[in-house]
Amino acid sequence: MLRSAEERCVTISGDDPRVAELHTVVARLRRELASLPFELMDRAIAEDELADLAAMVLGGSPEVPRMRRSLLLIAGAIGSVSALAPAVARVRAAVDRFDEDHPARTRTD
């Protein structure tokens, strides 16, 4: 499989704390999303991307650009549901930890 320079994989060990953190925050966001008392038009997209994030990390070689794409799709699907903003921020922070080895990327917070 050909990869662009931007599509790098992160090698993780079995005891990588980033894996546990991402797994925890993804599970929390999934629970909070499921507990919303109203229906979101794109809930299925958010749920699918959360499942993809979890599977990617547990699979052993997550691609940081793919995790970022999932994060964008999750944020877009959830929209402006302020009740979920803290959980989405935690997922973003957990994804960012996989990219800390490459600080050349410009971050805007």
User: pLDDT tens for residues 85-103?
Assistant: 999 999 999 999 988 765 5
Quickly count: other Cβ atoms within 10 Å of residue 54's Cβ. Answer: 17
Confidence at 14, pLDDT banded by 50, 70, 90: low
Cα distance between residue 54 and residue 29, in whole Å: 12
5: amino acid identity, one letter: A
Return the higher-pLDDT residue of 102 and 73. Answer: 73
* pTM for this model (two decimals): 0.77
What is residue 30's predicted lDDT score, i.e. its pLDDT?
A: 94
Cα distance between residue 38 and residue 47, in whole Å: 15
DSSP for 40-73 reads -TTHHHHHHHHHHHHHHHHHS--BHHHHHHHHHH
User: pLDDT tens for residues 15-65?
Assistant: 788 888 998 999 999 999 999 988 888 999 999 999 999 898 888 767 899
